[in-house]
Structure 1
Amino acid sequence: MSCPTTTPNLLGLRVLHRTMRADLHRLTALVERLADLRAAIGTKRAKALDAWIRGLCAEIHHHHLAEDEIAWPVIERHAGAAADLTGLSDDHAALGPLLADVRKASTALVRGPSAELPAQAGALAGRLARLRDTLDEHIADEEREIFPIIERYVPAAEWDAVTRGVARMAGGPGPAFQVPRILDVATPEELAALRAEAGPLLPIMAAALRPGHRRRERLVFG
């Protein structure tokens, strides 16, 4: 019989970080093409793009709120002075207005006349690029500075409780948006580990959610 690990399992957090970053990069590239009039967009696609952007913004906001309210207090309680979360919390505060700017620009793109598409797409692309670059830097800092502290100081059982608390926290975009995207960026080894953690539920969810996700993805990204 295997013994339970004493090191917190950060795999799910690493893969979620990668998912958000990958989406921001490909969304920015897509909207930049729209601004250059090299990609056609109709009403249906514009609405699907706006829905995708809003789902991603909700995911990022929910993730950072969960860190502030659930994860950070646990890290501080166990790591004490070894954990300085001030910079990361400041990043969360700065990212809030960036998310609002992206949502506002996305709404303008959907509602604006077709003649204004290049200008509206250009404005949205600029806001997405700023959010992308800020989040890239924030996540790189978090994984470099805080992940080792979590692994050193926080008991695995306490981190499991953090993970469960985050999963119960309202306000995220929901599994139909999150699960297929997470599975898409995970390596085969990570997929195997995620399936081992989740049990038989994960393959069932993936099979149920992927067809609809693929339709939405093709509509948005082509």
Structure 2
Amino acid sequence: MTTEPAAPATGSTTPDVLGMQIAHRVILRDLDRTTGVAMAMADGGVPITARRTRMLVRYLELMAESIHHHHQAEDDILWPVIVERAGAHVDLTPLTEDHDALLPLLDRMRGGALAFQATPSRQSAAALAARLVELRSLLSEHIAEEERATFPVIRRYLSVADWRDVEARIRRNARMSFELPRIGAAVTPPELAALKADAGAAIVLMLALFRPAYRRMERAIWG
């Protein structure tokens, strides 16, 4: 049975999808940066040290966890709300199929990271870079299609209350010690101010708490 769409959201009731846009930007930024350092190690331009190896593999573990959480939350939380509100006005099948295709690529990337950790070398760094490139290729196309297909529907059919509930539920199981400093490093000052104003004082305090450890990890990997 087709669900009838709710009345379109208009005016001040239009959800602000900035948080989702930033989450997508952070994913692609991380894939660009980790691919870059893996390629640089493969080329011999960046030294393969024990500390860099350890921190990069840990970063990739956290990044893979974050990507999986993001897309699982879309399947379990966001997609059902969109279907309930928009009915036949959106087809999420291609996006769900992308999510299914993502899982083996994440596993391949994790395997490449573990192989690099076990035997750090220019060859294993090159293999890891190749796994990151294929992961980035899928996600760049998927994110572009997702934003094209869903953002207009979210703005039109979901209420602000719907969207706030979705965002809160997605954040509930996220590893904020990793997510928050990544976001803080990727946004513009006006975007950060908007996020802080929306999320409240607790997020500001957590960002200040988690940022130093994240920066140490960044320096160990990228210098």
Identify whether the pair has TM-score above 0.5, normalized to the shorter chain: yes
Instruction: Give SS of 1:205's match.
Output: helix
Cα distance in structure 2, aligned partners of 1:211 and 1:155 = 37
| Residue 36 (str. 1) matches residue 43 (str. 2) | yes
Q: 1:178-189 maps to which residues of 2 (within 5 A)?
A: 178-189=179-190
- Listed as ranges, the gaps of 5+ residues in structure 2 are 1-10
Q: Distance in 2 between matches of 1:39 and 1:59?
A: 26
The code of the aligned residue for 2:45 comes to: R
Shift of 1:76: 0.6
Distance 2:59 2:44 in 1: 20
1:202 Cα deviation after fit: 2.5
Question: What is the rounded CA distance, in whole Å, between the counterparts of 1:43 and 1:188 in structure 2?
Answer: 35
The one-letter code matched in structure 2 to 1:54 is: E
Aligned pairs for 1:163-178 (under 5 A) are 163-169=167-173, 172=174, 174-178=175-179
Size of the alignment, in residue pairs? Answer: 213
Partner Cα separation in structure 2 for residue 32 and residue 82 of structure 1 = 43
Unaligned runs of 5+ in 1: none
Separation (CA, whole Å) in 1 of partners of 2:12 and 2:116: 49
* TM-score under structure 2 length normalisation: 0.92
Q: Which residue of 1 aligns with 2:123?
A: 119
Write the distance in 2 (CA, Å) between the matches of 1:202 and 1:168.
13
- Matched residue, 1:106: 113
Q: 1:20-71: per-residue Cα shift (whole Å, max 9, x none)? A: 1100001101101111121112222211100000111000000000000110
The whole-number CA distance in structure 1 between the counterparts of 2:216 and 2:46 is 18
RMSD: 1.3
Instruction: Provide the identity percentage.
Output: 44
TM-score, normalised with respect to structure 1? 0.92
Q: For 1:71-109, what per-residue CA distance to the aligned partner results, in whole angstroms no more than 9, with x for missing partners? A: 000001111111110110000000110000000000000
Structure 1 residues 71-86: aligned runs within 5 Å: 71-86=78-93
Runs of 4+ in 1 over 2 A off after TM superposition: none
